[in-house]
Amino acid sequence: MIVDSQIHVWAAETPDRPWPAERMSHPQRSAPFLPSDALCEMDAAGVAGAVLVPPTWEGDRNDLALAAARAHPGRFTVMGRLALDAPDARDLVAGWRDHLGLSGFRLTFHTPALRRHLDDPSASWLWRSLEDSGAPVMISVPGMARALQPVAERYEGLRIAVCHLARPIGGQEEAGFADLDDMLALSRFAHVSVKASATPCNTRDAYPFPRVHRHLLRVRDHFGAERMFWGSDLTRLPCTYRQCIDLFAEALPGLSEPERAQILGRSLCRWLNWTPTSPGSGARSP
């Protein structure tokens, strides 16, 4: 069973759904990518389920993704955005289990405005609240894995998954993996996992992406397959959805069949305590 650890879905910007200008971000595709579009892509590629991650450019709203998870609970679950400056942020963390379709939270620190929450000691309430609530959290720290180490060291009960192997935005080939040791150092914390997501974006190679193989195997060696989650970040892939899957299903050497099964979905489902109920097997479509 193949389960994707990250797909963005979003609607068009309208007066009723304005996008915040201060996020300095652009959508990954020119047209909206709706949950129905994701389902079509997943069915064609043999993906049983996916974690929907509301994108930065829509702001801190989860309504579209949560509606999709409630309509298709066997296909989608949501790692919701959290408006860290909102007055009700603490209440949302404490009551996350009350929101049907919400499996945890996703925090992003890829701009200076967002990065301050990672560095600011006054944000300790966030990490304490997440730890106390038991909510899993996916954290995007592109090129900043070292900055996450104090959080991982201090909050041992906080379940963290590092998005995209903490690769810098736009980084490719050796430059894109120059600071991989900083991310690998997080493996000493048993409560930290990693998302091997959007990997084809880190190379100019076409499938089977040979120049990323050794880096992925180093990640496996440090975290083990039980703490390594495949993901696509589908809407920015430079290749087909199926090629992104086959990097781990077939092309990456040195993985056992049990390890492939763990990385492609089993480990993620265990981490989230969620398993898709669709019959998707990962088989190719005719």
The three state secondary structure string of 73-84 is: CCCEEEEECCCC
Kind plus residue range of the DSSP H or E element containing 4: strand 3-7
Domain parsing of the chain, residue ranges: 3-13+28-272
Q: What is the mean pLDDT of residues 108-134?
A: 80
Instruction: Please say if the pLDDT value at position 190 is more than 50.
Output: yes
Q: What is the mean pLDDT of residues 156-185?
A: 93
CB 252 within 8 A of CB 213: yes
pLDDT (0 to 100) of residue 284? 47
pLDDT (0 to 100) of residue 75? 98
Q: What is the mean pLDDT of residues 104-116?
A: 80
pLDDT (0 to 100) of residue 113? 64
Residue holding tokens 């974690």?
51
CA 29, distance to chain mean position in Å, is 18
Q: What is the mean pLDDT of residues 268-279?
A: 90
Kind plus residue range of the DSSP H or E element containing 162: strand 160-162
Instruction: Please say if the pLDDT value at position 23 is more than 70.
Output: no
How many other C-beta atoms are found inside a 10 Å radius of the C-beta of residue 285? 8
CB 105 within 8 A of CB 96: yes
* pLDDT confidence band for 286 (50 / 70 / 90): very low
Instruction: Please say if the pLDDT value at position 5 is more than 80.
Output: yes
Which comes out higher in pLDDT, residue 126 or 214? 214
| Percent of the residues in the chain that have a pLDDT greater than 70, as a whole number | 92
CA 197, distance to chain mean position in Å, is 7
* pLDDT confidence band for 84 (50 / 70 / 90): confident
Q: Which two tokens stand for residue 15?
A: 């007066």
For 3-13+28-272, give the CATH class.
Answer: alpha beta
pLDDT (0 to 100) of residue 171? 82
Which comes out higher in pLDDT, residue 126 or 121? 126
pLDDT (0 to 100) of residue 244? 98
Phi, psi of 144, rounded to the nearest 5 degrees: -130, 35
Distances (CA, A) of 100 to 34, 73, 96: 19, 9, 9
At position 234, the amino acid (one-letter code) is: L
State the average pLDDT for the chain. 92
In angstroms, the CA 174 to CA 171 distance is 8
What is the reported pTM?
0.94
| Percent of the residues in the chain that have a pLDDT greater than 90, as a whole number | 78
Using DSSP's 3-state secondary structure scheme, residue 51 falls into: strand
Q: Which two tokens stand for residue 105?
A: 């939270």
